[in-house]
Structure 1
């Protein structure tokens, strides 16, 4: 059975669909002719491709830059780039960007965060080829100084983009990711003026990531009041940010011509792409749909990434213990950062032990059907972080593993 039959209309998160998934993934693992890594991590390519198509639909023709942080498997980055509507990579370190260029995976990589990696900067400024394909993020003159400190000449111009704070300002408070110090349009224009006047640099882009829109679930079961408040924040943010972007863009047009204006994420493609200032949007988590992306009004979840660990014990009636499982996500500690036991349906973590490093007890009605050695499939709470825990990601089509794809770790890389 193909995952394509379990699309949004068919209820990909229903118990029946999760149990079908359990059988399908177990079959794929059982029929693979080589030993598998533990925990066993897979990506369902049927769901991955369907998610890519849905992201492109939601972007409405605006090019989507692939967020490599949310994938961390080169084969998946390449697969996304080959999908209609996708163009370029948003990387998370300069060393990663250089590697992606060197490997021919992308010739257009924007590094999403400022870098102080002197070794990587030295490689960049000594390579006209790499410098023409990688864009660095800056939000202060100190970032320019850092780049200049590693070069002996200005022969190789460095492409830079300005990271602008895209948070919501309301009642004297800031709501949104704590990223750039550049909030007021005047401060953005002042830095742009410095970049344009400074030898050895080319100002080519702007990024405004509205994390309070893109990264917050807004239709969470049992949290009606909070979900309403999140939707209100999103609506206010969209209107305020569109006005601020337009003001900044008008000032920048007097200084230079930009190549791109990047915005948004998987949870905000519609509103980000609708802003006339924005020329490209970013998505990554929406390709794998981790646990934190289940409760959005904007799209129906179609999970594609899973990890499996075997049942090793039956300590009591109505309980099994699996080996490992404690792959928690980054961010503020809480239950939503824990992995979700997904297939078969009808399993839950215990409140006392949660997800453990070496073993995880599970309760629920599905424990009655599990035997020693059976696999339980989990979903990670966040995208990409899962693959820091394995050298290999197995790519599945239908009931068959079609590729054992090295992750960054599998390539011996830790970005």
Structure 2
């Protein structure tokens, strides 16, 4: 029990009354989740599961491929952190390009996919880059010089990577991060980019320029005084200006440069065009967690669920609230019952049965999560509750396996990548 929630009862806000939905009565599972519950009662082993719906995953992948057409795709590994999932999607979407955000994951992918093309999605400390080379086994068939591109966000970081290349006596492939409006770092303008390009031109035998990377997530969150199309146009104009600046260094600018960008939130805009990119990075849109419920992704389907058994069903007030229970239930019938789950604390929202919610009075628990709901949900001990993850990043490693659902049957498992 979370004392910080139970002690401050002097205000209705502390009771969570204003966040309740008095008209939203609970209902039993829909047919989809009722069937999945039956499967898990037989095959779930009584422990929390992360379920991937392969039919929904396929539909999302096919929609992505249809929209992109000939625009190449790079899969974002941090959002799809399972070698089985990445291999499945890479084959279905005909790509061996992966974007990586974590040094240990780069090593894992180099071993699992020795034919892969890896691009760092954020600049790593040079010590992490050194660790990659130190931890890379010999004889893999993976050649970092050709297959791994490090991301550089400033002239200062490039100097560090130059020293590493000298120490290793190995050439390194470099892409330059550019700020196209997100203001999260990267080269801020053409003048700053030119400093890095001059350093590259002076050291082109050790540091080989591959291209640019610019992330435009701000486009999907355009404020009221603009709109996503205007923000998209502005970001593309900034990207084009950086390309022009790079072309001023023809000795090192590749004939076919890598021009990476987009992301799940904005890939539909780039697919529709026009776009300066010749490659887009997408991950979360393929699973569509809840934080990706945006108009641009409305045609994508939720493809993963956390499923967990009900340990206890309780009727009655919390400590210190005996006198208020009647008022609380009258305001919100979904406070009639409390359902304690096996595990909890996940970044997820209750999905089925409808009407369930976290208890703002009690708080969250990673051990026995408490949900509230009305008696009409029909939940009993040993039934299952389904939660929809908010994000996929960092989620998979909390489960021993990913359960695969196909045509209403559990058909196999994938292993998550080990937590690093």
**Please, what TM-score do these two structures have when normalized by structure 2?**
0.79
SS in 1 for 2:362: coil
Distance 1:106 1:388, change over 3 A: farther
Q: Report the counterpart of residue 404 of structure 1 in structure 2.
A: 413
Q: How far 1:134 sits from its partner (Å)? A: 0.8
Whether 2:216 is the aligned partner of 1:205: answer no
Q: Report the counterpart of residue 319 of structure 1 in structure 2.
A: 338
Distance 1:120 1:87, change over 3 A: closer
Q: Report the counterpart of residue 343 of structure 1 in structure 2.
A: 352
Q: Does the 8 A contact of 1:74 with 1:105 survive in 2?
A: no
Q: How far 1:95 sits from its partner (Å)? A: 2.8
Whether 2:144 is the aligned partner of 1:144: answer no
Q: Report the counterpart of residue 259 of structure 1 in structure 2.
A: 257
Q: Distance in 2 between matches of 1:159 and 1:89?
A: 15
Distance 1:78 1:105, change over 3 A: farther
Distance 1:90 1:42, change over 3 A: same
Q: Report the counterpart of residue 284 of structure 1 in structure 2.
A: 283
Q: Does the 8 A contact of 2:306 with 2:386 survive in 1?
A: yes
Larger RCO, structure (CA 8 Å, separation 6 or more):
2
Q: Distance in 1 between matches of 2:138 and 2:377?
A: 62
Q: Does the 8 A contact of 1:326 with 1:355 survive in 2?
A: yes
Show CA shifts across 1:12-70 (max 9, x none). Answer: xxx999712212322332343x846x321111111011111112223343112101111
Q: How far 1:186 sits from its partner (Å)? A: 2.3
Distance 1:247 1:400, change over 3 A: same
Q: Distance in 1 between matches of 2:94 and 2:112?
A: 22
Q: Distance in 1 between matches of 2:314 and 2:155?
A: 60
| 1:120 paired residue among 132, 152, 167 | 132
Q: Report the counterpart of residue 22 of structure 1 in structure 2.
A: 33
**Please, what TM-score do these two structures have when normalized by structure 1?**
0.80
Q: Does the 8 A contact of 1:18 with 1:343 survive in 2?
A: yes
Q: How far 1:348 sits from its partner (Å)? A: 1.5
Distance 1:107 1:297, change over 3 A: closer
Higher alpha-carbon Rg: 2
Q: Report the counterpart of residue 193 of structure 2 in structure 1.
A: 188
Specify every segment of 5 or more residues in structure 2 that has no aligned partner in the other structure, as ranges.
Answer: 1-25, 316-335
Q: Does the 8 A contact of 2:50 with 2:306 survive in 1?
A: yes
SS in 1 for 2:180: coil
Q: Does the 8 A contact of 1:291 with 1:381 survive in 2?
A: yes
Q: Distance in 2 between matches of 1:358 and 1:31?
A: 23
Q: Does the 8 A contact of 2:28 with 2:379 survive in 1?
A: no
Whether 2:174 is the aligned partner of 1:160: answer yes
SS in 2 for 1:57: helix
Q: Report the counterpart of residue 6 of structure 1 in structure 2.
A: none
Distance 1:366 1:212, change over 3 A: farther
SS in 1 for 2:30: helix
Q: Does the 8 A contact of 1:125 with 1:151 survive in 2?
A: no
Q: CA RMSD in A?
A: 2.7
Equivalent residues in 2 for 1:5-404, closer than 5 Å = 19-32=30-43, 35=45, 38-84=47-93, 86-104=95-113, 106-116=115-125, 117=128, 118-123=130-135, 129-151=143-165, 155-167=169-181, 176=182, 178-180=184-186, 182-198=187-203, 199-214=205-220, 216=221, 228=224, 232-255=226-249, 256-257=253-254, 258-273=256-271, 274-316=273-315, 317-328=336-347, 339-365=348-374, 368-404=377-413
Q: How far 1:291 sits from its partner (Å)? A: 1.0
Q: How far 1:126 sits from its partner (Å)? A: 8.8
Moved more, 41-50 or 93-102: 93-102
SS in 1 for 2:295: coil
Q: Does the 8 A contact of 1:185 with 1:244 survive in 2?
A: no
Q: How far 1:102 sits from its partner (Å)? A: 1.7
